[in-house]
Amino acid sequence: MKLKRTMLLALALFVIPLAISVATHTPAAATWQTASHAPTGLAPDPAIVREPVVQVYAARTFGWRGAFGVHSWIIVKREGAADFTRYDVVGWSGPPFVHRNYATPDAEWYGSRPNLLVDRRGEGVETLIDQVEAAVESYPFNDRYQTWPGPNSNTFIAHVGRSVPELRLDLPANAIGKDYQPLSAALGRAPSGTGVQASLFGVLGIIVAPEEGLEINVLGLSLGVDVAEPALRLPGLGRVGTANPPH
């Protein structure tokens, strides 16, 4: 009886947040052809901010999928550069799937305003940009894309985070695909690079890390608790609790 209750509680912890997310999500009325890609002002103006910058964003995916997950991307600007370079993985283009300057650096993602996850500027950032660009080049799934359980856009950004732990990238729990790892890397770094992760193809796993806290992944849905910045990490809803300021 106790085991049954425990299993029901665990199921409820995964299902209830996801049901709330589905019930409260309102997809954009626009079609994907007409949905907004307007700049949000989250990225600094390169004409004013001359120092090097690295930023990571995540925004709800388009349509009904937005109830379940987010799309993430990274932008970089070297010192004195006139423009940002943006790196995304998008799944409808065919290989290679990593795209450079797919959209405006800080644009809405098909009508969804992004959240800023990482904001690094100034001293030492040129070195970070070197490492980010090397990670982009080393992404192992540039010829493959699968919405669930990955590899997808979040798998790509998680790869960058693992490769450049100085970013301290904390992808939200609803970044489905961030936990996708091949069997050869079933045990390794967490996406933030600050702890450890065990993952079986992104459908079953666990993370223990200073940035993510404790997070369990079942069928691509993540549930956990952030201890350093107290909050729950919930399927569909993402982070619920204290805000996690961009690093």
Rg (CA), the chain: 18
Q: How many other C-beta atoms lie within 10 A of the C-beta of residue 24?
A: 10
> Which segment of 3-17, 153-167, 191-205 scores lowest on mean pLDDT?
3-17
pTM: 0.95
Q: Across the chain, what does the average pLDDT equal?
A: 94
Residue carrying the six token digits 């992808």: 171
**Eight-state DSSP code of residue 171:** -
Between the alpha carbon of residue 78 and those of residues 45, 101, 115, 131, 166, the distances in Å are 13, 15, 22, 13, 17
CA separation (Å) from 215 to 219, 229, 239? 13, 14, 12
pLDDT at 183 over 80: yes
Cα separation, 59 vs 152, whole angstroms = 14
| CB contact at 8 A, 152 and 104 | no
Three-class DSSP category at 232: strand
pLDDT over 80 at 146, yes or no = yes
CA distance 138 to 133: 9
Q: Kindly report the number of other CB atoms within 10 A of residue 246's CB atom.
A: 17
Q: 3-class DSSP state for residue 70? A: strand
Q: What is the mean pLDDT of residues 16-40?
A: 90
Say yes or no to pLDDT of 185 above 70: yes
- pLDDT of 85 above 90: yes
- pLDDT above 70 as % of the chain: 99
